[in-house]
Amino acid sequence: MTTPTIKLSSGYDMPIVGFGLWKVNNDTCADQVYEAIKAGYRLFDGACDYGNEVEAGQGVARAIKEGIVRREDLFIVSKLWNSFHDGDRVEPIARKQLADWGVDYFDLYIVHFPISLKYVDPSVRYPPSWNSEAGKVELGNATIQETWTAMESLVDKSLARSIGISNFSAQLLMDLLRYARVRPATLQIEHHPYLTQTRLVDYAQREGIAITAYSSFGPLSFLELQVTKAENTPPLFEHETIKSIAAKHGKTPAQVLLRWATQRNIAVIPKSNNPARLAQNLDVVGFDLESTEIEAISALDKGLRFNDPHNYDLPVTIF
């Protein structure tokens, strides 16, 4: 199965459906990546903070060794963590992450959050997390412009083919575009029917910046957080609007949620260790929702954000 792509402003093609590595366990990660490649996935979305890049790279290496894919067939994404925002810290950590993956370049390297934390050496704490060596959140002094200038140098040195951002507001994006020599190719955001972020999506796409949605299934990845219970909001898989549309098309609720995004040219990065669901999640461009169905799903918006540092009792106000 060939996955459709989105043409990035950098000139490269990014698969519109990928495999997300957040919360993929270390002991299964290599096998999950390998099996996902066998199933047809070509985009893998990682980050140093996920703590599984070595294992993800092992899965990639196995697939390449067996001749299933070549490196150039894959689109590997990683992210710069908050504690490496100082200009002189960006390239060293990117090189470490490349070594962990066992590759020479990232297809896309993303600023994970628009916030600088105090530097913590990887020998002291890695994966880095939100806390410093003192066990608390300590802000750093790097500006976004300083960080972005260092990100641009990764493109100059062919360590990253494209660079992007994640969890940025429209205002921060506007500011970044004023001084960016290399424009961000993508913006990755939490995006699902309970948090549509329509104005942000529209603005970024008008600027030629591709959107990647994470947490496409809403609260499913955040069941341990009390916010999912306090809002008295049903899981999207069980919502009558989603279920009825899925039944009409003979698809699963997950496929409907992913198609709601991809039909609007928004990339998605679901994950699964179930072979059937792996295939189903990849097969989300072979049918179309009616415009009224897209509108009905979008109407479920509650402005309900799950991936907010405050939900983890972290005193970091980003959103």
- Would you state the pLDDT for residue 48? 96
- Active-site residue (options: 34, 41, 50, 194): 50
Q: Which long-range contacts (CB under 8 A, 24 or more apart) does 198-201 make?
A: 198/298, 198/301, 199/170, 200/169, 200/170, 201/264, 201/266
Average pLDDT score over residue span 198-209: 98
Is 101 inside a domain boundary? yes
Is 319 inside a domain boundary? no
pLDDT exceeds 70 at position 224: no
Average pLDDT score over residue span 44-55: 98
- Would you state the pLDDT for residue 158? 98
pLDDT exceeds 60 at position 64: yes
- List the domain range (segments joined by +) for residue 65: 7-311
Domain of 258, CATH number, reads 3.20.20.100
Is 2 inside a domain boundary? no
Q: Is 50 noted as a catalytic residue in this protein?
A: yes
Is 278 inside a domain boundary? yes
Decide: 24 and 50 in contact? Cβ < 8 Å.
yes
pLDDT exceeds 50 at position 213: yes
pLDDT exceeds 70 at position 231: no
- Would you state the pLDDT for residue 226? 46
DSSP label of 78: E
3-class SS string, 109-157: EEECCCCCECCCCCCCCCCCCCCCCCCCCCECCCCHHHHHHHHHHHHHC
CA–CA distances in Å: residue 46 to residues 51, 78, 100, 231, 271? 9, 5, 11, 29, 12
Position 230 confidence tier, pLDDT thresholds 50, 70, 90: very low
**How confident is the model over 75-86, as pLDDT tens digits?**
999 999 999 999
- Would you state the pLDDT for residue 233? 79
Q: Structure pTM?
A: 0.96
**How confident is the model over 166-194, as pLDDT tens digits?**
999 999 999 999 999 999 999 999 999 99
Is 30 inside a domain boundary? yes
Ligand-binding annotation for 112, yes or no, is yes
- Would you state the pLDDT for residue 249? 97
- Would you state the pLDDT for residue 225? 52
Phi-psi region of 131 (alpha: psi -120 to 50; beta: other; left: phi over 0): beta
Q: What is the mean pLDDT of the chain?
A: 94
**How confident is the model over 6-40, as pLDDT tens digits?**
999 999 999 999 999 999 999 999 999 999 999 99
Q: For the chain, what is the domain count?
A: 1
CA distance 142 to 81: 13
Q: Which long-range contacts (CB under 8 A, 24 or more apart) does 197-200 make?
A: 198/298, 198/301, 199/170, 200/169, 200/170
pLDDT exceeds 70 at position 1: no
Average pLDDT score over residue span 270-278: 89
Is 1 inside a domain boundary? no
Average pLDDT score over residue span 191-212: 98
**How confident is the model over 113-165, as pLDDT tens digits?**
999 999 999 999 999 999 877 778 999 999 999 999 999 999 999 999 999 99
Is 229 inside a domain boundary? yes
pLDDT exceeds 50 at position 229: no
Is 318 inside a domain boundary? no
